[in-house]
Amino acid sequence: MEHPSQPDGGGVQSARCRQCGESSGGELFCAHCGSLQRPATDYYVFFGLKRVLVLDTEDLQRKFYELSRRLHPDRFTWKSAIERQYSLEATAILNDGYRVLRDPLMRAEYVLKQEGFDIGEQRSKDVPPELLEEVFDLNMALEELRLGDEEAHGQIEEARNRFLAMRESIDKELETLYRRFDDTQDRGVLQQVRTVLNRRRYVRNLVNEVEKELAREGQPAQ
Amino acid sequence: MAYSNKVLDHYNNPRNVGALDKHDPQVGTGMVGAPECGDVMKLQVKVNPATGIIEDAKFKTFGCGSAIASSSLATEMLKGKTVDEALEIKNTVIVSELALPPVKIHCSVLAEDAIKAAIADYKKKNSVGNHAAAQVAQ
């Protein structure tokens, strides 16, 4: 499925260069005169990338470095006010976009948000009940271990390894879903991605809790 | 972040922490969670079937101080109320009682959801229970 239209300001505003009046070719730098155009706010469009969830991060990094160089403020000292303004906007999008796109989880959340999935406003009805039960039980077990004696240490380490294994299998599951979305562009897959991301968030919290506990144990007794 | 004294009080001395027997037909259990922060909250009510009054309420919450305080306060508010009165409890009451800042309002929403889930569970169990009893009587 093709995406019929970018959200407002997502794509390149005008294919005609403000500077020379010729067609800019939709590029960040005019294909005709090389002057900087108004940057696209959509991170994928900005980096000239296809909107995929499995991204070649080395390629992304190369593009980041190249654009960083081309957008360096020193290059715009003698340019027009509008180009200086665009260069500031472009630099901000460059840095934010790189931070988001290089991280597989933030990248997926970005695409979910673009597709109209509300990330911040979810309520418990979006979480499968059996997951809540599972997370609750794991938290209970952790708490019991924490209240226990020194022998609990081994069990806590065991719990950490179990959570890390869970996180690893979730990441594999995500990878599979990402590939499926890239192949099909199916919204239903994104729905699944969101569910698995929620699950991962819970497991991440559990890992953090266990690691906090292990760090606390490592401290000398008060 | 600065917590209000009321949040701190409930956080340091949470009321009604614990569990009721979830298989007891008089007990309704609500389990809810907030995916964005990873909190999970279990809230239970024990209802007198003759009067419809909530005689006991317990909770256990894994989450931030505001989530713990919200559910602790919720259990206090539930006791002595009828099931229908309990459904009237709004998260805004919890917000003002605990002076929760805007970023923590979702904690009170979670507590309201937990109350509703617990009562829905009780009602579901009860109609099913009556139904089964009626079948046995026939």
Structure confidence by residue, pLDDT tens digits, A119-133: 655 555 566 777 788
Chain B residues with CB within 8 Å of chain A CB: 31-36, 38, 40, 42, 60, 62, 109-110, 113, 117
Chain B residues lying within 8 Å of A119, measured CB to CB? 36
Q: Is the pLDDT of residue A10 over 60?
A: no
Among residues A203, A178, A24, the alpha carbon closest in space to that of A127 is found at: A203
How much of chain A, in percent, has pLDDT values that exceed 70? 85
As a whole number, mean pLDDT of residues A45-65 equals 95
ipTM here: 0.82
- Nearest-CA neighbor of A53 among A196, A201, A205, A203? A196
Question: Residue A7: is its pLDDT beyond 70?
Answer: no
**With 50 as the cut, is the pLDDT of residue B67 above it?**
yes
Which of A123, A211, A136, A147 is closest to B61 using CA atoms?
A136
- Give catalytic status of residue B37 as yes or no: yes
**Is B107 part of the annotated catalytic residue set?**
yes
Model confidence band, residue B1 (pLDDT cutoffs 50, 70, 90): low
Element (H, E) at B39: strand B39-47
pLDDT of res. A4: 44
Q: What is the pLDDT of residue B138?
A: 46
Determine the pLDDT at residue A117: 84
Question: How confident is the model at residue A43, as a pLDDT?
Answer: 97
Q: Which of B43, B54, B83, B107 is catalytic?
A: B107
- Rounded CA-CA distance A119/A155 in Å is 34
Do the Cβ atoms of A202 and B40 come within 8 Å?
A: yes
Any CB–CB contact under 8 A between A140 and chain B? yes
Q: What pLDDT is recorded for position A178? A: 97
Query: Cα–Cα distance between B19 and A183 in angstroms, integer?
Result: 47
For testing contact with chain A, the best of B31, B37, B41, B62 (most A CBs within 10 A): B62
pLDDT confidence of residue B41:
94
B78, B54 in Cβ contact below 8 A? yes
- Cβ burial, residue A115 (10 Å; 0-12/13-18/19+): middle
CATH class of the domain whose range is B5-128:
alpha beta
Given strand B27-34, what is the order of strands in its sheet? B27-34, B39-47, B54-62
pLDDT of A8 strictly over 50? no
Q: Please check the confidence at residue A181 and state whether its pLDDT lies above 80.
A: yes
| pLDDT of res. A2 | 41
